[in-house]
Chains A and B, each alone.
Chain A
Amino acid sequence: MSKSVYRGKQKLAVKEFDEVEADPKEIVEAIVYHRKASVREHISMHIATSKGSDAVLDDNEKLTDLLNRLVECKLLDPEEIKVWDVSDSRIKMSMKIARYADVFMDERVLPLLEPGYSLLYQIARLYEEIEADEKILEALT
């Protein structure tokens, strides 16, 4: 049984781990494939968090229910929802990451990433700053 791996749009076949030959290229392809897949999934999680939060933001009861459930499944700390402020929370980080999902999913960026709130959030902020700088540059030239 083999798994499918994509390099760009080219589909490659990679053997199951116990059948992988000692070919570093093949091994790394498999690792990168799984890392990319994990980042994709991670970003999907942020999109779900962002959209879900947006949907209940104006309904206090539903928002509280959502937050409690997020605490229950260890996605938020109880302390985070005690003094709940959407502008200063991990949900805000999720929202920003979700906003730049297309950037993260770009094939030039995706292979460089690892899943993780704070890394992706910082990259989103870096993207915003580069974008702002470029806009100013375009206006000046």
Chain B
Amino acid sequence: MTDVVALLAAELKNVRGRLTRRKVEELRKGREKRRKPNSLGISAPTANIEAAEETAIQESVAQSIPSSQVEKQTVSVVLVDLRARSDMTKMGQDYVHGGEPSILKAGLRMTSDTSLVIVLKLKDVAVVSSKLSFWLKKRIDRVFLFDTPASLEVSDEIAAVICSKEKHAFSWLDSAQYERDPVDACIKGLTGWAEPRLLLLAQKEVAGWECVVGEENWL
């Protein structure tokens, strides 16, 4: 029989600083998010079986996609161009772990150290936010606008959403507004900073980047 009090004490001890309602609520929400339906449709527990669960996901993905793709190396930077409405519509669909399209399966090649940059319209941030767990990210760390808004209506403004532990690696974004295309600006800014680099929903092959072009992302 598991000592649940010991597990609770361990979770509480791991909280940084004072225990507050908000911090404990976040712990609970994190637990809820990580709880995914398994193949039997049962919500599986999380904390202690995360490793087993990850293995199960890897195995399930290995069965569903060519092994060459699974065995590809871990990436340091992932850039996603989610500006197109059609892509965002597909992204907004409900996916379960193991049954997600390859754009989300890219998470299997990411670690907590991988920096994720997503270029999108500001109004779509919520959709992307709900999919971050596929990319092994918990939250959005920073949001940059590529242009100074002309009015208070900012829904369609193009933004770069960043999930990254790096605090100072994105200073080039300050000058990105002068570039003609936001994705080109990101490619330019990220090239040479860290590698390997993966570009999802790429419009064309880009030197120095592993690119997944067009519909290949949704297979």
**Chain A interface (Cβ < 8 Å from any Cβ of B):** 103, 106, 108-109, 112-114, 116, 118-119, 121-123, 125-127, 129-134, 136-138, 140
Q: For A103, give its contact among B8, B11, B27, B35 (CB under 8 Å).
A: B8
Closest 4 CB pairs of A and B: A133-B45, A108-B9, A122-B24, A118-B21
CB A52 to nearest CB in B, in angstroms, measures 24
CB atoms of B12 and A123 under 8 A apart: yes
CA distance A134 to B4 in the complex (A): 8
B2 touching A106 by the CB < 8 A rule? no
Closest chain-B Cβ to A74's Cβ sits at a distance in Å of 20
Using an 8 Å CB-CB cutoff, how does the interface string of B32-70 with A read, 1 for contact, 0 for none? 100100000011111111000000000000000000000
Which bracket fits the contact residues of B?
20 to 34
Note all chain B residues with C-beta closer than 8 A to A119: 19-21, 24
- Asked if A134 and B21 make an inter-chain contact with CB atoms under 8 angstroms apart, the answer reads no
Q: Known pairs A108-B6, A109-B5, A123-B12; list 14 more (Cβ under 8 Å).
A: A103-B5, A106-B5, A106-B9, A123-B24, A125-B28, A126-B31, A130-B4, A130-B7, A131-B4, A132-B45, A133-B46, A136-B43, A138-B1, A140-B42
Cβ contact within 8 Å between B46 and A112: no
- Determine whether the beta carbon of B4 is less than 8 Å from that of A127: yes
The residues of A that contact B11 with a CB separation of less than 8 Å are 126, 130
CB proximity of B45 to chain A, nearest CB, Å: 3
